[in-house]
Chains A and B, each alone.
Chain A
Amino acid sequence: MIRISIQERENWQELAKEVGFQFHTIDGEKYWDESACYRFTLEQIEQDIEDPTAELEQMCFQAVDRVINDESLMEKLAIPQPYWDYVRSSWQNRERNLYGRMDFSYDGKSPAKLLEYNADTPTSLYESAAFQWVWMEQAMEQGLIPPDCDQFNSIHEQLISAFRAMEIDGTLHMAACQGSLEDEGTVLYLEECATQAHVKTHFIHMEEIGIDADGRLTDLQDNVITNLFKLYPWEWMMREEFGEAMPTSGVTFIEPAWKTILSNKGILPVLWEMFEGHPNLLPSYFMEDAHKLTGGFAKKPIYSREGAGVSLHENGQTLEEVKGPYGEEGHIVQALHPLPVFEGNHAVIGSWLVASQPSGIGIREDNSAITKDTSRFVPHVIRE
């Protein structure tokens, strides 16, 4: 795994505009960054990322099994009690999941360590699946990189077959929040994949969803919603006004409700307790057991996104902290395992799962040790 400075494609901004990648630059700061790329060997990809991702997913399934059968863990994960049965039955009915992203700290040499699993509302999907893919094809064509490169990235193909396998009956409504270009872009991309799988889609903002007298969810044309992809966290939906309608609304949700267990930082101490010493896990504990950690640690809110509310501590000092609105539901601690630094850039590997199968990676760099929503996306290649 090395970082290589390369030449940018001359026209990439125009291309981005043409294919609807509107958030490549955010508030004047570069988000898509092709002035460099990461190069991996096939062995690094397959043995150090792909295989561990598949194995961790199986471990996560065992952890979900454990949590749904243990009310004290449901409590620790701050899953509201009225939804326990609903979450349980979504798992017991094997409701299909679409995608997720495991974030790893990996330096190309030692085992990749799972930092967290964004199993419910992962973004950076479009740039990983599509724009990164197009970048490599064009960069090879233009001679900016050698012509025999490969990429760990079958996300696009996998998404289409996952949608096909879901055998969605009727329309799939697809929702994002108002006011986020990035989230709308992600949903638009997924809509595209669903359409290519011959699924009929209909976009709606979360705020526009309605409810009828029988507690069914509706769109703006008063159609009853029966399938809903929501780029909106389960833990928020459960605490909002229409939340209580969900279990009896007849809606099949993507992601399914059991994903709220995996996207929860509380899954990290559960995994550690079940698989202590596993090479891809970091020691993690709920706050009451925090004293078991020696050395530096990261403190993370149970519910947190884009690094918000995360702080890093060592020798009684706070190394770094990102302020954020999260944390009222509690925290976990995780042994400190700083991201590798390549020419001043802290790099995190997002390992994508589609229908629980490892399908590709996307790399984000940040100037500081905590990856935030101001990080930059840098493409990668596989070449011996």
Chain B
Amino acid sequence: MKRSKSLKLALMGATILTMSACDNTEDTAAIFKDVDECAQFEGENLDQCRQGWEQAAEEHVRTAPKYTSIAECQADFGEEQCEQAPQQTSSGGSVFMPMMMGYMMGSMLANGTRSNVATQPLYRSKDDPKTFRTGDNQKVSTKTGVQPVPSTVTKAPSTKTSTVRRGGFGTTAARTSTSSRSYGG
């Protein structure tokens, strides 16, 4: 047979719901608001809790949403919820980011390793303060402790920065044609 054996189109068609339903896998994650809460949890110890926290705090600098004004940051995360980031803009201006409100890591397994969850900071937004969110603004959970979470939130979040300019691509297409229906070919 010279053709594909099956073909499933979920995003483009009406079958999108069935597709995402069977793709909903979960991971077990440990979520804590700080080192103390972690250390009190059965199966965790202070050293490991601190280690996880430090790793998440490092990720925090890289993956927290970035703002060039504190007001913009506060609009998303609330008063007193933002701090200055170590990064600077190209002109030497300050960069702001929300404070880390908790952290997520893999749950402790019997063999002393953790389940496959990228250790990362968690945030709470102003309009939904009960929910922990990842640096990529994905909802994780409203509670702390060891629990199942969607596997879509357990990957390492992307690096955040502040954009200084947009529109530097696409100018040739705009100049080249208004009649062509594709810029590929």
**Which A residues are within 8 Å of any B CB, using their own CB?**
18-21, 23, 26, 42, 45, 118, 121-123, 129-130, 133-134, 136, 150-157, 170-171, 176-178, 180-183, 186, 188-189, 191-192, 195-196, 200, 205-214, 216, 218, 221-224, 226, 231-233, 236-237, 239-243, 245, 305-306, 308, 325, 360, 373, 382
A211 vs B163: C-alpha distance in the bound complex, in angstroms? 5
CB-CB under 8 A for A237 and B169, given A222-B162, A223-B136: yes
Cβ-defined contact, B166 with A210, below 8 A: yes
CB-CB under 8 A for A188 and B170, given A133-B3, A222-B65, A325-B177: no
A105 vs B166: C-alpha distance in the bound complex, in angstroms? 42
A208 vs B166: C-alpha distance in the bound complex, in angstroms? 6
**Which B residues are within 8 Å of any A CB, using their own CB?**
1-5, 7-14, 65-66, 88-90, 136-137, 152, 155-156, 158-177, 180-185
Cβ-defined contact, A122 with B184, below 8 A: yes
Nearest CB on B from A236, distance (A): 4
Cβ-defined contact, B136 with A240, below 8 A: no
List, in ascending order, chain B residues with CB within 8 A of A45's CB: 2
Cβ-defined contact, B2 with A183, below 8 A: no
Cβ-defined contact, B183 with A231, below 8 A: yes
Cβ-defined contact, B164 with A207, below 8 A: no
CB < 8 Å: which of A18, A157, A186 contacts B5?
Answer: A157
Nearest CB to that of B1 among chain A residues? A150
CB < 8 Å: which of B4, B10, B185 contacts A153?
Answer: B4
CB-CB under 8 A for A213 and B164, given A133-B4, A224-B159, A236-B172: yes
List, in ascending order, chain B residues with CB within 8 A of A19's CB: 9, 12-13
Cβ-defined contact, B183 with A305, below 8 A: yes
List, in ascending order, chain A residues with CB within 8 A of B90's CB: 213
List, in ascending order, chain A residues with CB within 8 A of B169's CB: 206-207, 209, 232, 237, 240-243
Cβ-defined contact, A210 with B181, below 8 A: no
List, in ascending order, chain A residues with CB within 8 A of B165's CB: 210-211
A134 vs B12: C-alpha distance in the bound complex, in angstroms? 14
CB < 8 Å: which of A118, A154, A200, A222 contacts B66?
Answer: A222
CB < 8 Å: which of B9, B66, B170 contacts A205?
Answer: B170
Nearest CB to that of B178 among chain A residues? A179
List, in ascending order, chain A residues with CB within 8 A of B174's CB: 207
A243 vs B66: C-alpha distance in the bound complex, in angstroms? 24
Cβ-defined contact, B2 with A212, below 8 A: no
CB < 8 Å: which of A155, A231, A239 contacts B184?
Answer: A231
List, in ascending order, chain B residues with CB within 8 A of A180's CB: 180-183
Cβ-defined contact, A23 with B181, below 8 A: yes
CB < 8 Å: which of B3, B66, B162, B182 contacts A306?
Answer: B182
Residue from A122, A129, A245, A325 with most neighbouring chain B CB atoms (10 Å): A325
List, in ascending order, chain A residues with CB within 8 A of B175's CB: 325
List, in ascending order, chain A residues with CB within 8 A of B166's CB: 207-211
> Which 5 interchain pairs have the tightest Cβ spacing?
A242-B168, A305-B185, A20-B12, A213-B90, A210-B163
